[in-house]
Structure 1
Amino acid sequence: MNSHKNASLTPRGREHLVKNIASQGARKAADAAGISTRTAARWKRRYQLEGVAGLRDRSSRPHRSPTRIGSDKTERIEGLRRNQRLGYAQIAERVGVSKSTVGRVCVKAGLAKLPPVQDSVPVRRYEKERPGELLHMDMKKLGCFDQPGHRVTGDRTRNTPRAGWQALHVAIDDHSRVGFSQVLRDETSHSACDFLIAALRYYRKLGVPIQAVMTDNGSAYKSRRFAKLLRRLGIKHKRTRPYTPRTNGKAERFIQTLLREWAYAYRYPSSDVRAAELQPWMQHYNFSRPHSAVSHKPPAFRLGFDGNNVLRNYT
Protein backbone atom coordinates (compact mmCIF):
# COMPACT_ATOMS: atom_id res chain seq x y z
CA MET A 1 0.00 0.00 0.00
CA ASN A 2 1.33 3.45 -0.92
CA SER A 3 2.14 5.82 1.93
CA HIS A 4 0.31 9.12 2.17
CA LYS A 5 2.31 12.08 0.89
CA ASN A 6 2.02 13.79 4.31
CA ALA A 7 2.74 10.67 6.40
CA SER A 8 5.26 11.29 9.17
CA LEU A 9 6.48 7.71 9.23
CA THR A 10 6.96 4.87 6.78
CA PRO A 11 7.14 1.20 7.88
CA ARG A 12 10.93 1.54 8.06
CA GLY A 13 10.60 4.70 10.16
CA ARG A 14 8.13 2.98 12.52
CA GLU A 15 10.57 0.16 13.10
CA HIS A 16 13.24 2.73 13.95
CA LEU A 17 10.72 4.45 16.27
CA VAL A 18 10.05 1.27 18.22
CA LYS A 19 13.79 0.75 18.77
CA ASN A 20 14.17 4.35 19.99
CA ILE A 21 11.27 3.87 22.41
CA ALA A 22 13.09 0.92 23.98
CA SER A 23 16.30 2.92 24.41
CA GLN A 24 15.13 6.51 24.95
CA GLY A 25 11.57 6.28 26.16
CA ALA A 26 8.26 7.03 24.42
CA ARG A 27 8.25 10.82 24.85
CA LYS A 28 11.74 11.47 23.44
CA ALA A 29 11.29 9.03 20.59
CA ALA A 30 7.92 10.59 19.68
CA ASP A 31 9.35 14.13 19.73
CA ALA A 32 12.25 13.07 17.50
CA ALA A 33 9.84 11.47 15.00
CA GLY A 34 7.48 14.47 15.05
CA ILE A 35 4.44 12.51 16.29
CA SER A 36 2.41 12.39 19.48
CA THR A 37 3.19 10.11 22.41
CA ARG A 38 -0.17 8.40 21.90
CA THR A 39 0.68 7.52 18.29
CA ALA A 40 4.10 6.22 19.34
CA ALA A 41 2.46 4.03 21.97
CA ARG A 42 0.09 2.60 19.33
CA TRP A 43 2.96 1.57 17.06
CA LYS A 44 4.78 0.03 20.04
CA ARG A 45 1.68 -1.99 20.96
CA ARG A 46 1.20 -3.26 17.39
CA TYR A 47 4.87 -4.23 17.22
CA GLN A 48 4.58 -6.21 20.46
CA LEU A 49 1.49 -8.09 19.19
CA GLU A 50 2.40 -8.71 15.54
CA GLY A 51 6.07 -7.96 15.10
CA VAL A 52 7.36 -6.15 12.01
CA ALA A 53 4.19 -7.05 10.08
CA GLY A 54 2.16 -4.90 12.48
CA LEU A 55 4.07 -1.78 11.40
CA ARG A 56 2.73 -1.90 7.84
CA ASP A 57 -0.17 0.26 6.61
CA ARG A 58 -3.62 -1.26 6.85
CA SER A 59 -6.83 -0.65 4.97
CA SER A 60 -9.18 1.88 6.53
CA ARG A 61 -12.17 -0.26 5.59
CA PRO A 62 -14.22 -1.17 8.70
CA HIS A 63 -14.32 -4.77 9.91
CA ARG A 64 -18.11 -4.66 10.06
CA SER A 65 -20.70 -2.83 7.92
CA PRO A 66 -24.10 -3.38 9.55
CA THR A 67 -25.98 -1.29 6.96
CA ARG A 68 -24.38 -2.96 3.94
CA ILE A 69 -26.96 -4.53 1.60
CA GLY A 70 -26.97 -8.27 1.04
CA SER A 71 -26.24 -10.23 -2.10
CA ASP A 72 -29.97 -10.71 -2.81
CA LYS A 73 -30.59 -6.95 -3.05
CA THR A 74 -27.43 -6.50 -5.09
CA GLU A 75 -28.60 -9.09 -7.62
CA ARG A 76 -32.05 -7.52 -7.77
CA ILE A 77 -30.58 -4.06 -8.42
CA GLU A 78 -28.40 -5.41 -11.21
CA GLY A 79 -31.32 -7.32 -12.71
CA LEU A 80 -33.63 -4.29 -12.75
CA ARG A 81 -30.93 -2.16 -14.28
CA ARG A 82 -29.85 -4.70 -16.90
CA ASN A 83 -33.18 -6.25 -17.88
CA GLN A 84 -35.73 -3.48 -17.37
CA ARG A 85 -33.30 -0.57 -17.88
CA LEU A 86 -34.74 1.40 -14.96
CA GLY A 87 -33.23 4.58 -13.57
CA TYR A 88 -31.54 4.86 -10.19
CA ALA A 89 -34.55 6.50 -8.51
CA GLN A 90 -36.98 3.82 -9.73
CA ILE A 91 -34.70 0.99 -8.62
CA ALA A 92 -34.17 2.61 -5.20
CA GLU A 93 -37.93 2.83 -4.69
CA ARG A 94 -38.51 -0.81 -5.62
CA VAL A 95 -35.64 -2.32 -3.66
CA GLY A 96 -35.94 -0.03 -0.65
CA VAL A 97 -32.41 1.38 -0.62
CA SER A 98 -30.95 4.81 -1.24
CA LYS A 99 -30.28 6.19 -4.69
CA SER A 100 -26.56 6.46 -3.93
CA THR A 101 -26.46 2.76 -3.01
CA VAL A 102 -28.05 1.87 -6.34
CA GLY A 103 -25.50 4.01 -8.13
CA ARG A 104 -22.60 2.39 -6.29
CA VAL A 105 -23.86 -1.11 -7.14
CA CYS A 106 -24.39 -0.23 -10.81
CA VAL A 107 -20.95 1.33 -11.15
CA LYS A 108 -19.32 -1.74 -9.62
CA ALA A 109 -21.28 -4.02 -11.97
CA GLY A 110 -20.45 -1.91 -15.04
CA LEU A 111 -24.05 -0.81 -15.50
CA ALA A 112 -23.67 2.91 -14.87
CA LYS A 113 -24.09 3.49 -18.61
CA LEU A 114 -26.58 1.14 -20.20
CA PRO A 115 -25.61 -0.53 -23.48
CA PRO A 116 -27.67 0.36 -26.57
CA VAL A 117 -30.92 -1.53 -27.08
CA GLN A 118 -29.85 -2.57 -30.56
CA ASP A 119 -26.37 -3.67 -31.47
CA SER A 120 -24.57 -1.26 -33.76
CA VAL A 121 -24.03 -2.31 -37.33
CA PRO A 122 -20.51 -3.72 -37.74
CA VAL A 123 -18.15 -1.61 -39.81
CA ARG A 124 -17.44 -3.21 -43.17
CA ARG A 125 -14.61 -1.45 -44.94
CA TYR A 126 -13.78 -2.16 -48.54
CA GLU A 127 -11.47 -0.80 -51.18
CA LYS A 128 -11.23 -1.65 -54.86
CA GLU A 129 -7.94 -3.04 -56.10
CA ARG A 130 -7.47 -0.71 -59.08
CA PRO A 131 -8.30 2.94 -59.86
CA GLY A 132 -11.46 3.43 -61.85
CA GLU A 133 -13.23 0.26 -60.72
CA LEU A 134 -15.74 2.31 -58.76
CA LEU A 135 -16.48 6.03 -58.67
CA HIS A 136 -18.55 7.35 -55.75
CA MET A 137 -20.83 10.28 -56.57
CA ASP A 138 -23.00 12.51 -54.40
CA MET A 139 -24.21 16.08 -54.08
CA LYS A 140 -24.70 18.66 -51.33
CA LYS A 141 -26.92 21.76 -51.36
CA LEU A 142 -25.17 25.04 -50.43
CA GLY A 143 -26.76 28.42 -49.89
CA CYS A 144 -25.87 31.42 -52.02
CA PHE A 145 -24.95 34.72 -50.38
CA ASP A 146 -23.77 38.22 -51.26
CA GLN A 147 -22.25 38.88 -47.84
CA PRO A 148 -20.89 36.65 -45.04
CA GLY A 149 -23.69 34.93 -43.13
CA HIS A 150 -24.27 34.11 -39.48
CA ARG A 151 -22.15 30.96 -39.63
CA VAL A 152 -18.99 33.11 -39.67
CA THR A 153 -20.27 36.42 -38.25
CA GLY A 154 -22.58 35.13 -35.53
CA ASP A 155 -25.11 37.81 -36.47
CA ARG A 156 -28.40 36.26 -37.63
CA THR A 157 -29.88 39.65 -38.53
CA ARG A 158 -27.61 39.96 -41.57
CA ASN A 159 -28.63 37.77 -44.49
CA THR A 160 -29.05 37.74 -48.24
CA PRO A 161 -32.77 37.67 -49.07
CA ARG A 162 -33.88 35.39 -51.91
CA ALA A 163 -30.29 34.35 -52.56
CA GLY A 164 -31.17 30.83 -53.68
CA TRP A 165 -29.09 27.67 -53.62
CA GLN A 166 -26.16 26.01 -55.32
CA ALA A 167 -25.38 22.31 -55.61
CA LEU A 168 -21.96 20.90 -54.82
CA HIS A 169 -21.46 17.77 -56.93
CA VAL A 170 -18.64 15.46 -55.85
CA ALA A 171 -16.96 12.33 -57.19
CA ILE A 172 -14.17 10.30 -55.61
CA ASP A 173 -12.31 7.24 -56.87
CA ASP A 174 -12.68 4.29 -54.51
CA HIS A 175 -9.08 3.08 -54.75
CA SER A 176 -6.95 6.20 -55.10
CA ARG A 177 -9.25 8.71 -53.31
CA VAL A 178 -8.62 11.20 -56.11
CA GLY A 179 -11.59 13.56 -56.03
CA PHE A 180 -13.41 15.83 -58.45
CA SER A 181 -16.09 18.40 -57.64
CA GLN A 182 -18.01 21.25 -59.21
CA VAL A 183 -20.49 23.84 -58.01
CA LEU A 184 -23.50 23.69 -60.37
CA ARG A 185 -26.82 25.50 -60.47
CA ASP A 186 -29.05 22.73 -59.07
CA GLU A 187 -29.46 19.04 -58.24
CA THR A 188 -31.48 18.03 -61.32
CA SER A 189 -30.72 15.20 -63.71
CA HIS A 190 -29.33 17.72 -66.25
CA SER A 191 -26.71 18.89 -63.75
CA ALA A 192 -25.95 15.32 -62.67
CA CYS A 193 -25.30 14.29 -66.28
CA ASP A 194 -23.17 17.36 -66.98
CA PHE A 195 -21.12 16.65 -63.86
CA LEU A 196 -20.66 12.97 -64.76
CA ILE A 197 -19.29 13.88 -68.18
CA ALA A 198 -16.92 16.46 -66.67
CA ALA A 199 -15.75 13.93 -64.06
CA LEU A 200 -15.09 11.24 -66.66
CA ARG A 201 -13.03 13.68 -68.71
CA TYR A 202 -11.00 14.65 -65.64
CA TYR A 203 -10.21 11.07 -64.69
CA ARG A 204 -9.42 10.19 -68.31
CA LYS A 205 -6.75 12.91 -68.31
CA LEU A 206 -5.23 11.18 -65.27
CA GLY A 207 -5.28 7.85 -67.09
CA VAL A 208 -8.16 6.41 -65.08
CA PRO A 209 -11.06 4.90 -67.09
CA ILE A 210 -14.21 4.60 -64.99
CA GLN A 211 -15.95 1.21 -64.99
CA ALA A 212 -18.76 1.70 -62.45
CA VAL A 213 -20.49 4.53 -60.60
CA MET A 214 -22.09 4.33 -57.15
CA THR A 215 -24.76 6.84 -56.13
CA ASP A 216 -27.55 7.15 -53.60
CA ASN A 217 -31.23 6.97 -54.56
CA GLY A 218 -31.72 10.65 -55.28
CA SER A 219 -34.13 11.64 -58.02
CA ALA A 220 -31.34 12.88 -60.29
CA TYR A 221 -29.52 9.55 -60.14
CA LYS A 222 -32.73 7.54 -60.64
CA SER A 223 -33.78 9.57 -63.65
CA ARG A 224 -34.03 8.08 -67.14
CA ARG A 225 -31.61 10.70 -68.48
CA PHE A 226 -28.87 9.63 -66.07
CA ALA A 227 -29.49 5.92 -66.74
CA LYS A 228 -29.45 6.47 -70.50
CA LEU A 229 -26.13 8.32 -70.28
CA LEU A 230 -24.53 5.51 -68.29
CA ARG A 231 -25.75 2.88 -70.77
CA ARG A 232 -24.38 4.90 -73.68
CA LEU A 233 -21.01 5.20 -71.94
CA GLY A 234 -20.96 1.52 -70.95
CA ILE A 235 -20.64 2.28 -67.23
CA LYS A 236 -22.30 0.12 -64.62
CA HIS A 237 -24.59 1.89 -62.13
CA LYS A 238 -24.64 0.79 -58.47
CA ARG A 239 -27.04 2.27 -55.92
CA THR A 240 -26.85 2.29 -52.17
CA ARG A 241 -29.50 0.65 -50.03
CA PRO A 242 -32.20 3.12 -48.90
CA TYR A 243 -31.33 4.99 -45.68
CA THR A 244 -27.79 3.55 -45.54
CA PRO A 245 -25.45 6.45 -46.40
CA ARG A 246 -22.51 4.50 -44.96
CA THR A 247 -22.56 2.37 -48.14
CA ASN A 248 -21.42 5.46 -50.03
CA GLY A 249 -19.25 6.54 -47.12
CA LYS A 250 -16.26 7.71 -49.13
CA ALA A 251 -18.36 10.34 -50.88
CA GLU A 252 -20.03 11.33 -47.60
CA ARG A 253 -16.64 11.74 -45.94
CA PHE A 254 -15.33 13.67 -48.93
CA ILE A 255 -18.23 16.13 -48.60
CA GLN A 256 -17.43 16.64 -44.91
CA THR A 257 -13.82 17.43 -45.80
CA LEU A 258 -14.95 19.89 -48.47
CA LEU A 259 -17.27 21.69 -46.08
CA ARG A 260 -14.68 21.90 -43.31
CA GLU A 261 -11.60 22.81 -45.35
CA TRP A 262 -13.12 24.75 -48.25
CA ALA A 263 -16.75 25.89 -47.90
CA TYR A 264 -16.61 27.03 -44.25
CA ALA A 265 -12.86 27.40 -43.80
CA TYR A 266 -12.69 31.10 -44.78
CA ARG A 267 -14.84 34.19 -44.63
CA TYR A 268 -15.78 34.48 -48.29
CA PRO A 269 -17.33 37.81 -49.37
CA SER A 270 -19.82 35.98 -51.61
CA SER A 271 -20.78 32.53 -52.81
CA ASP A 272 -19.25 33.29 -56.23
CA VAL A 273 -15.85 33.84 -54.63
CA ARG A 274 -16.31 30.60 -52.69
CA ALA A 275 -17.08 28.70 -55.90
CA ALA A 276 -14.01 30.19 -57.61
CA GLU A 277 -11.80 28.82 -54.82
CA LEU A 278 -13.04 25.24 -55.27
CA GLN A 279 -10.72 24.13 -58.07
CA PRO A 280 -7.51 25.44 -56.44
CA TRP A 281 -8.50 23.58 -53.29
CA MET A 282 -9.18 20.40 -55.30
CA GLN A 283 -5.71 20.66 -56.81
CA HIS A 284 -4.30 20.88 -53.30
CA TYR A 285 -6.44 17.94 -52.14
CA ASN A 286 -5.39 15.60 -54.94
CA PHE A 287 -1.69 16.46 -55.25
CA SER A 288 -0.51 17.95 -51.92
CA ARG A 289 -2.80 17.18 -49.01
CA PRO A 290 -1.88 13.99 -47.07
CA HIS A 291 -4.68 11.41 -46.90
CA SER A 292 -4.85 8.89 -44.06
CA ALA A 293 -6.21 6.16 -46.37
CA VAL A 294 -3.21 6.55 -48.71
CA SER A 295 -0.51 6.11 -46.03
CA HIS A 296 -0.60 9.88 -45.35
CA LYS A 297 0.35 10.72 -48.93
CA PRO A 298 -1.68 12.69 -51.52
CA PRO A 299 -4.35 10.65 -53.36
CA ALA A 300 -2.57 11.16 -56.69
CA PHE A 301 0.33 9.12 -55.31
CA ARG A 302 -1.63 5.95 -56.08
CA LEU A 303 -1.90 7.01 -59.70
CA GLY A 304 1.87 7.29 -60.06
CA PHE A 305 2.19 11.01 -59.34
CA ASP A 306 5.20 11.35 -57.05
CA GLY A 307 4.62 15.03 -56.27
CA ASN A 308 7.87 16.26 -57.85
CA ASN A 309 6.90 16.26 -61.53
CA VAL A 310 5.47 19.76 -61.81
CA LEU A 311 4.63 19.63 -65.52
CA ARG A 312 2.80 16.31 -65.21
CA ASN A 313 0.94 17.12 -62.02
CA TYR A 314 -0.28 20.62 -62.82
CA THR A 315 -0.95 20.60 -66.55
Structure 2
Amino acid sequence: MHLNGKVAVVTGSGRGLGLAYAKALAAAGAAVVVNDVDAEATAAAVKEIEEAGGRAVAETAEVGGSEAAEALVARAVDAFGRLDVMVTNAGVLRDRVLWKMTDDDFDTVVRVHLRGTFTCVRAAVRRMREQGRGGRVVVAGSPAGQRGNFGQTNYAAAKAGIAAMVRTWAMELARDGITANAVIPVAATAMTRTVPAFAPYVEALERHGTPLPDALRKGEGFGTPEDVAPLAVFLASDAAAGITGQCIGIGGDKLALWSHPQESAVAYADGGWSAEAIAAAWPVSVGRAPETCGIPAPRTARGASR
Protein backbone atom coordinates (compact mmCIF):
# COMPACT_ATOMS: atom_id res chain seq x y z
CA MET A 1 0.00 0.00 0.00
CA HIS A 2 1.50 3.32 -1.04
CA LEU A 3 0.57 6.97 -1.23
CA ASN A 4 3.11 7.99 -3.83
CA GLY A 5 2.20 11.30 -5.45
CA LYS A 6 -0.37 12.22 -2.81
CA VAL A 7 -0.19 15.30 -0.61
CA ALA A 8 -1.57 15.38 2.93
CA VAL A 9 -2.15 17.97 5.63
CA VAL A 10 -2.13 16.73 9.23
CA THR A 11 -3.26 19.21 11.87
CA GLY A 12 -1.85 18.96 15.38
CA SER A 13 1.03 16.84 14.12
CA GLY A 14 3.90 18.19 16.17
CA ARG A 15 3.63 15.34 18.65
CA GLY A 16 1.48 12.41 19.76
CA LEU A 17 -1.09 10.90 17.42
CA GLY A 18 -0.71 13.68 14.86
CA LEU A 19 3.02 13.11 14.58
CA ALA A 20 2.44 9.36 14.20
CA TYR A 21 -0.05 10.05 11.39
CA ALA A 22 2.34 12.41 9.61
CA LYS A 23 5.26 10.01 9.84
CA ALA A 24 3.19 7.04 8.65
CA LEU A 25 1.74 8.97 5.70
CA ALA A 26 5.21 10.16 4.71
CA ALA A 27 6.65 6.66 5.05
CA ALA A 28 3.92 5.45 2.69
CA GLY A 29 5.03 8.00 0.10
CA ALA A 30 2.86 11.06 0.73
CA ALA A 31 4.23 14.57 0.99
CA VAL A 32 3.04 16.04 4.28
CA VAL A 33 2.25 19.48 5.68
CA VAL A 34 2.97 19.30 9.40
CA ASN A 35 0.94 21.64 11.56
CA ASP A 36 1.08 22.64 15.21
CA VAL A 37 0.83 25.75 17.37
CA ASP A 38 4.40 25.08 18.52
CA ALA A 39 6.93 26.13 15.86
CA GLU A 40 9.70 24.07 17.45
CA ALA A 41 7.52 20.96 17.40
CA THR A 42 6.63 21.40 13.72
CA ALA A 43 10.27 21.97 12.79
CA ALA A 44 11.35 18.89 14.73
CA ALA A 45 8.64 16.78 13.09
CA VAL A 46 9.63 17.92 9.61
CA LYS A 47 13.26 17.15 10.35
CA GLU A 48 12.38 13.67 11.60
CA ILE A 49 10.33 12.91 8.49
CA GLU A 50 13.01 14.21 6.14
CA GLU A 51 15.76 12.28 7.90
CA ALA A 52 13.70 9.13 7.34
CA GLY A 53 13.57 9.89 3.60
CA GLY A 54 10.15 11.54 3.47
CA ARG A 55 8.97 14.93 2.26
CA ALA A 56 7.43 17.46 4.61
CA VAL A 57 7.00 21.17 5.27
CA ALA A 58 5.84 23.03 8.35
CA GLU A 59 2.89 25.38 8.81
CA THR A 60 2.63 26.76 12.32
CA ALA A 61 -0.93 27.87 13.03
CA GLU A 62 -3.69 27.56 15.62
CA VAL A 63 -6.49 25.52 14.10
CA GLY A 64 -10.01 26.85 14.51
CA GLY A 65 -10.59 29.82 12.25
CA SER A 66 -10.91 29.96 8.48
CA GLU A 67 -7.64 31.86 8.02
CA ALA A 68 -5.57 29.02 9.48
CA ALA A 69 -7.46 26.44 7.42
CA GLU A 70 -6.87 28.35 4.19
CA ALA A 71 -3.18 28.76 5.08
CA LEU A 72 -2.77 25.02 5.53
CA VAL A 73 -4.30 24.25 2.14
CA ALA A 74 -2.27 26.99 0.49
CA ARG A 75 0.92 25.61 2.05
CA ALA A 76 0.22 22.19 0.58
CA VAL A 77 -0.47 23.61 -2.87
CA ASP A 78 2.50 25.98 -2.83
CA ALA A 79 4.94 23.33 -1.64
CA PHE A 80 3.67 20.25 -3.48
CA GLY A 81 1.21 21.44 -6.12
CA ARG A 82 -2.00 19.83 -4.83
CA LEU A 83 -3.91 18.43 -1.86
CA ASP A 84 -5.31 14.91 -1.64
CA VAL A 85 -5.70 14.13 2.07
CA MET A 86 -6.84 16.24 5.02
CA VAL A 87 -6.28 14.71 8.46
CA THR A 88 -7.70 16.80 11.31
CA ASN A 89 -6.12 15.85 14.59
CA ALA A 90 -5.53 19.13 16.45
CA GLY A 91 -7.15 19.28 19.86
CA VAL A 92 -7.08 20.62 23.39
CA LEU A 93 -8.68 19.64 26.69
CA ARG A 94 -10.38 21.74 29.33
CA ASP A 95 -11.89 19.04 31.54
CA ARG A 96 -14.31 20.08 34.28
CA VAL A 97 -17.67 18.89 35.55
CA LEU A 98 -20.64 20.79 34.17
CA TRP A 99 -21.19 23.17 37.11
CA LYS A 100 -17.52 24.21 37.12
CA MET A 101 -17.02 24.51 33.36
CA THR A 102 -16.61 28.11 32.19
CA ASP A 103 -17.73 29.62 28.92
CA ASP A 104 -14.07 29.80 27.90
CA ASP A 105 -13.52 26.12 28.76
CA PHE A 106 -16.42 25.18 26.50
CA ASP A 107 -15.70 27.59 23.67
CA THR A 108 -11.98 26.79 23.45
CA VAL A 109 -12.52 23.06 23.06
CA VAL A 110 -15.40 23.43 20.62
CA ARG A 111 -13.44 25.98 18.56
CA VAL A 112 -10.38 23.78 18.13
CA HIS A 113 -12.05 20.38 17.76
CA LEU A 114 -15.40 21.04 16.11
CA ARG A 115 -14.95 24.36 14.34
CA GLY A 116 -11.34 23.53 13.48
CA THR A 117 -12.41 20.29 11.86
CA PHE A 118 -15.15 22.09 9.94
CA THR A 119 -12.96 24.92 8.65
CA CYS A 120 -10.04 22.68 7.68
CA VAL A 121 -12.23 20.15 5.90
CA ARG A 122 -14.19 22.88 4.13
CA ALA A 123 -10.99 24.48 2.83
CA ALA A 124 -9.59 21.11 1.78
CA VAL A 125 -12.77 20.00 0.02
CA ARG A 126 -12.98 23.21 -1.95
CA ARG A 127 -9.49 22.53 -3.29
CA MET A 128 -10.17 18.83 -3.92
CA ARG A 129 -13.31 19.66 -5.91
CA GLU A 130 -11.38 22.16 -8.01
CA GLN A 131 -8.78 19.51 -8.77
CA GLY A 132 -11.50 17.07 -9.81
CA ARG A 133 -9.59 13.96 -8.75
CA GLY A 134 -11.33 13.04 -5.51
CA GLY A 135 -9.75 13.10 -2.10
CA ARG A 136 -9.73 11.79 1.43
CA VAL A 137 -10.93 13.37 4.66
CA VAL A 138 -9.83 11.67 7.87
CA VAL A 139 -10.98 13.29 11.12
CA ALA A 140 -10.36 12.53 14.78
CA GLY A 141 -13.27 11.25 16.80
CA SER A 142 -13.20 9.79 20.31
CA PRO A 143 -14.96 7.20 22.46
CA ALA A 144 -16.12 10.21 24.50
CA GLY A 145 -18.03 11.46 21.48
CA GLN A 146 -19.64 8.07 21.00
CA ARG A 147 -20.65 7.43 24.62
CA GLY A 148 -19.99 10.57 26.68
CA ASN A 149 -17.39 10.87 29.42
CA PHE A 150 -17.44 12.30 32.95
CA GLY A 151 -16.00 15.80 33.12
CA GLN A 152 -15.90 16.26 29.34
CA THR A 153 -19.09 18.07 28.31
CA ASN A 154 -17.15 20.23 25.85
CA TYR A 155 -14.92 17.50 24.41
CA ALA A 156 -17.68 14.88 24.13
CA ALA A 157 -20.00 17.37 22.44
CA ALA A 158 -17.33 18.37 19.92
CA LYS A 159 -16.42 14.78 19.10
CA ALA A 160 -20.08 13.77 18.75
CA GLY A 161 -20.50 16.68 16.37
CA ILE A 162 -17.51 15.53 14.34
CA ALA A 163 -19.04 12.07 13.95
CA ALA A 164 -22.27 13.65 12.73
CA MET A 165 -20.38 15.84 10.27
CA VAL A 166 -18.64 12.80 8.80
CA ARG A 167 -21.96 11.10 8.11
CA THR A 168 -23.23 14.26 6.44
CA TRP A 169 -20.08 14.79 4.38
CA ALA A 170 -20.15 11.20 3.15
CA MET A 171 -23.42 12.05 1.38
CA GLU A 172 -22.43 15.52 0.21
CA LEU A 173 -19.03 14.55 -1.19
CA ALA A 174 -19.84 11.22 -2.81
CA ARG A 175 -20.30 12.62 -6.33
CA ASP A 176 -16.86 14.22 -6.15
CA GLY A 177 -15.11 11.00 -5.17
CA ILE A 178 -14.15 12.39 -1.78
CA THR A 179 -14.50 10.10 1.23
CA ALA A 180 -14.92 11.21 4.84
CA ASN A 181 -14.26 8.96 7.82
CA ALA A 182 -13.51 9.33 11.52
CA VAL A 183 -10.77 7.52 13.39
CA ILE A 184 -11.76 6.67 16.99
CA PRO A 185 -8.34 6.14 18.60
CA VAL A 186 -7.41 4.75 21.99
CA ALA A 187 -3.71 5.36 22.53
CA ALA A 188 -1.07 6.41 25.01
CA THR A 189 -0.96 10.19 24.62
CA ALA A 190 -0.83 13.29 26.79
CA MET A 191 -4.63 13.11 26.95
CA THR A 192 -4.90 9.51 28.13
CA ARG A 193 -2.02 10.04 30.57
CA THR A 194 -4.61 11.75 32.78
CA VAL A 195 -6.72 8.56 33.08
CA PRO A 196 -5.69 6.95 36.41
CA ALA A 197 -6.01 3.38 35.12
CA PHE A 198 -3.74 4.11 32.16
CA ALA A 199 -1.31 6.60 33.74
CA PRO A 200 1.30 4.17 35.14
CA TYR A 201 1.47 2.25 31.87
CA VAL A 202 1.79 5.39 29.78
CA GLU A 203 4.53 6.67 32.08
CA ALA A 204 6.42 3.36 31.92
CA LEU A 205 6.12 3.34 28.13
CA GLU A 206 7.37 6.90 27.75
CA ARG A 207 10.17 6.72 30.31
CA HIS A 208 11.45 3.19 29.86
CA GLY A 209 9.90 1.86 26.66
CA THR A 210 8.04 -0.78 28.67
CA PRO A 211 5.58 -2.55 26.31
CA LEU A 212 1.91 -2.27 27.12
CA PRO A 213 0.49 -5.54 28.50
CA ASP A 214 -2.06 -7.67 26.65
CA ALA A 215 -4.67 -6.68 29.25
CA LEU A 216 -4.53 -3.23 27.66
CA ARG A 217 -3.61 -4.01 24.06
CA LYS A 218 -6.26 -6.68 23.61
CA GLY A 219 -8.63 -6.27 26.53
CA GLU A 220 -8.99 -2.49 26.22
CA GLY A 221 -7.79 -1.91 22.68
CA PHE A 222 -5.24 0.53 24.12
CA GLY A 223 -1.89 0.96 22.43
CA THR A 224 0.62 3.46 21.12
CA PRO A 225 0.09 6.26 18.58
CA GLU A 226 2.02 4.09 16.12
CA ASP A 227 -0.67 1.41 16.49
CA VAL A 228 -3.30 3.91 15.33
CA ALA A 229 -1.42 5.48 12.42
CA PRO A 230 -1.87 2.62 9.89
CA LEU A 231 -5.62 3.29 9.83
CA ALA A 232 -4.98 6.83 8.60
CA VAL A 233 -2.72 5.44 5.86
CA PHE A 234 -5.38 2.93 4.81
CA LEU A 235 -8.17 5.51 4.74
CA ALA A 236 -5.95 7.85 2.69
CA SER A 237 -5.21 5.15 0.13
CA ASP A 238 -6.95 4.03 -3.05
CA ALA A 239 -7.86 0.80 -1.25
CA ALA A 240 -10.35 2.76 0.87
CA ALA A 241 -12.10 4.47 -2.06
CA GLY A 242 -15.39 2.75 -1.21
CA ILE A 243 -15.33 3.47 2.51
CA THR A 244 -17.04 6.66 3.69
CA GLY A 245 -19.20 7.97 6.52
CA GLN A 246 -17.72 5.52 9.01
CA CYS A 247 -16.42 5.84 12.59
CA ILE A 248 -13.61 3.31 12.90
CA GLY A 249 -11.99 2.46 16.21
CA ILE A 250 -8.40 1.37 16.58
CA GLY A 251 -5.97 0.90 19.45
CA GLY A 252 -3.46 -1.72 20.53
CA ASP A 253 -4.40 -4.99 18.83
CA LYS A 254 -8.05 -3.99 18.27
CA LEU A 255 -9.84 -2.72 15.16
CA ALA A 256 -13.56 -1.94 15.41
CA LEU A 257 -16.47 -0.36 13.57
CA TRP A 258 -18.71 1.88 15.67
CA SER A 259 -22.42 1.74 14.96
CA HIS A 260 -24.44 4.79 14.00
CA PRO A 261 -27.09 5.90 16.51
CA GLN A 262 -30.36 4.13 15.83
CA GLU A 263 -33.61 3.25 17.58
CA SER A 264 -33.01 0.30 19.89
CA ALA A 265 -36.59 -0.19 21.12
CA VAL A 266 -39.98 1.01 19.83
CA ALA A 267 -43.56 1.00 21.10
CA TYR A 268 -46.81 2.33 19.62
CA ALA A 269 -50.07 3.61 21.06
CA ASP A 270 -53.20 4.22 19.02
CA GLY A 271 -53.91 7.94 18.91
CA GLY A 272 -50.55 8.88 20.43
CA TRP A 273 -49.07 8.92 23.88
CA SER A 274 -50.17 10.61 27.10
CA ALA A 275 -47.69 11.17 29.91
CA GLU A 276 -49.53 8.53 31.98
CA ALA A 277 -49.38 6.01 29.14
CA ILE A 278 -45.65 6.58 28.73
CA ALA A 279 -45.13 6.04 32.46
CA ALA A 280 -47.03 2.76 32.31
CA ALA A 281 -45.36 1.46 29.17
CA TRP A 282 -41.80 2.57 29.89
CA PRO A 283 -40.65 -0.22 32.27
CA VAL A 284 -42.18 -3.00 30.17
CA SER A 285 -41.37 -1.76 26.64
CA VAL A 286 -38.86 0.81 25.42
CA GLY A 287 -37.39 1.42 28.87
CA ARG A 288 -36.87 -2.22 29.75
CA ALA A 289 -33.17 -2.11 28.88
CA PRO A 290 -32.04 1.53 28.85
CA GLU A 291 -28.82 2.50 27.11
CA THR A 292 -25.71 2.95 29.25
CA CYS A 293 -23.67 6.15 29.38
CA GLY A 294 -19.95 6.76 29.54
CA ILE A 295 -16.82 4.93 28.50
CA PRO A 296 -16.60 1.58 30.35
CA ALA A 297 -13.91 1.65 33.03
CA PRO A 298 -10.70 -0.14 32.01
CA ARG A 299 -10.54 -3.65 33.38
CA THR A 300 -7.25 -2.79 35.06
CA ALA A 301 -9.28 -0.42 37.27
CA ARG A 302 -11.69 -3.22 38.13
CA GLY A 303 -9.08 -5.53 39.49
CA ALA A 304 -8.14 -7.48 36.38
CA SER A 305 -4.67 -8.92 36.05
CA ARG A 306 -2.01 -6.53 34.80
Identify whether the pair has TM-score above 0.5, normalized to the shorter chain: no
Per chain length, whose mean CA-contact separation is higher, i.e. which structure has more relative contact order (CA < 8 Å, sep 6+)?
Answer: 2
Report which of the two structures shows the higher radius of gyration computed on alpha carbons.
1
TM-score (norm 1): 0.24
TM-score (norm 2): 0.25
